[in-house]
A and B are shown apart, each in its own frame.
Chain A
Amino acid sequence: MVEKNAPAVRLGRGFWIVTAVLAILAIASIVFWYVAPIYRWMHLPVAIATAKQVDQLSRFMLATGSALYIFVVGYIVYFAIAFRVRKSDPPDAIGIQIHDNHKLEFWWTVIPAAFVVLLSVLSIKIWYEITLAPSNGLVVEAIGHKWYYTFRYPQVNGEITNAMHLPIGVPVTLNLTSADVIHSFWVPAMRLKNDMVPGLVTQIHFTPTRIGTYQIICTQFCGIDHSLMHQQRFVIDSQANYQKWYHAWQVKNAKVSNALPSTSGASVNLAAGDVAAGKALFAQKCTACHAMAPFTTVKYGPGLLDVLHDPTHPNLVNGQPANPADAAAILEKGYTGTMGSMPNAVTNGLSSQDIANLVAYLNSMK
């Protein structure tokens, strides 16, 4: 195959000089991303333990991404200049006719693939810390509303409507749910967010590590005033200040009665159940798995329309007769067995009053 105007395929000195320059720039960019106090420039302190790991992952990706980008763009610019058509070239001048280079193609497949493996391992490790690492501690609930958040605490009645306070150093499980549409709970200082989905309780776990006041921001469009849903604060207190704040709320809301259960549990007063409140709660926390429809309408669990009044299904999931007291027991303690499973009151964020309300609602449906 005779190729006109085609010099031998070899990389000139210019190529290696450019490669050396790009390598220096790439190393400089890697150093930059590891040294630069980027989050200080951005006024984003590290409020929880895992935020630091997210930052490390970010630095790793910014550094390697920048290095790659410098090489790609650097070569494009260099080739664009070095291989431009010149006035002295004949009009039918053609480039070097090469079609491929298996060695090169092998390496630029294998190196990115190896990088993908490395990035996966790093990400999964941090993902595990954020998502699955077990944490026993305080269970708090945040509820999204149009266009504010409310918070519920163990042994505190009522909902707290201004700032969310948490003590430093105590692991927290934060249950998230919504009273209306999908909201999101984002604290940039935590490098963490999760959606608040109506009908579903989701959880995030973290341990506060830095005393301070941080912004909570909604990042899912939730209606006309979504833009304003960033005004509430997340306060990390010292243990002593947190206790003070917490007791003040306990006193303030002493007359309201829907405190979250403490881990030791609380007695349920079924007679105090309120059907309307139970209905609202059902929509907020049960509908991800259960429909208010006949038993055979299965979503994840069965339909609960006539769960307490269905002669063909006289028993509950645990084999106990379907009566309000046993339903309340399942809501409180949860159930896991051959028939399926049901999360307990701590996971679902149900106070004893909530349980009474839900049972009253279920009992009213037939």
Chain B
Amino acid sequence: MAIAAAPHGGGIADHIHPEPQSFVRRYVFSIDHKIIGIQYIITGFVFFVLAGLLAETIRIQLMHANGGFVSPQTYNEVYSIHGSTMVWLVVIPLLTGGFGNLVFPLQIGARDVAFPWLNMLSYWIFPIAGLMLFSSFLMGAPTAGWTEYPPISLEGQAGTSMWAAAIFLVGVSSTLTGINFVVTIMKMRAPGMTFTRMPLFCWGQFATAPLLMIATTALAAALAALFMERQFGVPFFDPTKGGSPVLWQHMFWFYSHPAVYIMILPAFGIVSEVLPTFSRKPIFGYKLIAFSSMAIALAGFMVWAHHMFTSGLAPYLQLPFMVITFVIAVPTGIKIFSWTATLWGGKIHYTTAMLFAMGFLVLFTLGGITGIFLAAIPFDLHLHGTYFVVAHFHYVLVGGSLMGIFSGMYYWFPKMSGRLLSEKLGKWHFWLFFIGFNGTFLPMHWLGLEGMPRWVSTYDPQFQFWNQFASISSFVMTAGILLFFANILYSIRFGKVAGANPWGARTLEWQIPSPPHYYNFKHIPTVYGLPYDFSQPLPYRGLEDELNDTPPPVAAGAH
């Protein structure tokens, strides 16, 4: 019946349930992937504000060589929770649960993810875990950084166990999301949406989801072991009782290196959508960009010990990790060159989303290059554990992932809300953020080269000038972020009405109303080609009724 009702193709899950009417079922315990995506985004940005406050606490403390803003104990708690929050409660949930949920089911022409109830469960674990993480402040937060190496973390305050439990739960949420996304992309693409016709954002999610599924389990095992050792004295890591502290490092980085790619591959996907749309050009080298994501995801499992060159590994064991890490530079380079080539010969529209995507290219490339430096063992033996490393990973995670997130917000906010963000405020946001970011993190490269170690609440006075420079720049960055939130709060009420496709974009989500209906598509469309050929008609059929008032077909079996 349902198949017969679809004029062109369709037939896959073309089976529409009525939209729930109660507020709670619609907006709180929703099973709609779009609402869940927005829930992830809102929750993620709430934690982003908290992590930002912690970051400014760090920068104010480091204004003076002798610190003095907070006690060393508090300072250690602050940076530990700042790092944990940014990784597990901001960047990963925003990029996978947030943009992933919101966008890719629309882009592959599905009505929802494969397991909507599981999706709801993944979301609801996340804010609970976040509250648990912040509640660790009440009982004495962890102090050993987001990596929590034992044995020092075994001596940490009671909140360290709460930290382990909270991150374990976030991990469960991530794993479930990963399973959901893999199954959705494998099984629920619209007719004709072959793998080589998928938008690159979907490829980003498709490369990320297995990492979420597989790597997170290693972290869960490590956290469970840490929790058991702290609470019940089971000696996994304490060397005096027969444990091994280096074991934790292996298990932690077996997750946390792939986690780096969990945090960047979806951002690659966002940039790969934004650049062709606003250059009015096909993405350059579609297949190589898609396959290089898979190559990076695969190789990402084989490099974890490059975080452990100083940890006392057997010398020969270090070499393969160094060389494989270098090798990852090749697919990453291919992406950067392809994005740059996409700009060539384009008709570039300077929207805020485009500015953030281009800012991503400039900053992420720098972070990538310093990543190659640090992969070289002799260089790493000098700079491991210094501010050079801090600079490197902020260029990758803030200059890369967070710029990608902002780009995605300006790009897809109209699809979420039906209204455009203010471009004027957006450009102020971009420039304040871009300049402030470089002012904050660029000096950290030479602070590290000169000998400033990480995790310090006070430091040698010779480093004070550049620390003050960084702190003042961080206020500029924060001003940019405040404008972003002001922009959202303003535009959601008063922003210009967007219409279905304000950007002239060609992927499926832009061919349906903003915000989309509960059932996404009236008829599941059929796909005939890649979305990026601006000179060709849109490669979809079955979308004729999307923008008129025709009611959606209701399958006979629906209830």
Contacts and interface: CB of A to CB of B under 8 A. Distances in A.
A124 B504 CA distance: 51
A191 B381 contact: yes
Interface string B112-148: 0000000000000000000000000000000111000
Interface in B315-339: 315, 318-319, 322-323, 326-327, 329-330, 333-334, 336-338
Interface stretch (A70-78, A326-334, A341-349): A70-78
B325 to A, nearest CB: 10
A100 B334 CA distance: 12
B226 to A, nearest CB: 14
Interface stretch (A109-117, A164-172, A241-249, A261-269): A109-117
B310 A95 contact: no
Given A97-B281, A100-B285, A61 B372 contact: yes
A67 B421 CA distance: 37
Contacts of A4: 535
A322 interface: no
Chain A interface size, as a band, is 35 or more
A192 B382 contact: yes
Given A97-B535, A220-B385, A123 B244 contact: no
B348 A83 contact: yes
A122 to B, nearest CB: 8
A119 B372 contact: yes
B311 interface: yes
Interface string B443-462: 00010011101111111101
B327 A116 contact: yes
A41 to B, nearest CB: 9
Interface string A93-137: 111111111001100110011001001100110110011100000
Contacts, number: 267
Contacts of B152: 181-182, 221-223
B310 A194 contact: yes
A2 to B, nearest CB: 8
B310 A195 contact: yes
Given A182-B152, A197-B312, A199-B240, A83 B385 contact: no
B312 A130 contact: no
B340 A291 contact: no
Interface stretch (A26-34, A155-163, A225-233, A356-364): A225-233
Interface stretch (B177-185, B259-267, B359-367, B545-553): B359-367
A76 B31 CA distance: 42
Contacts of B340: 72, 75-76, 79
Residue of B143, B329, B453 most packed against chain A (CB within 10 A): B453
Interface of A: 1-6, 9, 38, 42-44, 50, 53-54, 57-58, 61-62, 65, 68-69, 72-73, 75-76, 79-80, 83-85, 89, 92-101, 104-105, 108-109, 112-113, 116, 119-120, 123-124, 126-127, 130-132, 180-182, 184, 186, 188, 191-195, 197-200, 202, 215, 217-228, 230, 283, 287-288, 291-293, 297, 299
Q: Which 10 A-B pairs have CB atoms at the shortest separation, nearest pair first?
A: A219-B385, A199-B239, A96-B345, A95-B281, A291-B242, A95-B346, A79-B343, A227-B456, A283-B240, A188-B451
Interface of B: 67, 72-73, 76, 143-145, 149, 151-152, 155, 239-240, 242, 244-246, 279-282, 284-288, 310-312, 315, 318-319, 322-323, 326-327, 329-330, 333-334, 336-338, 340-341, 343-350, 358, 361-362, 365-366, 369-370, 372-373, 376-379, 381-382, 384-386, 446, 449-451, 453-460, 462, 504, 533-535
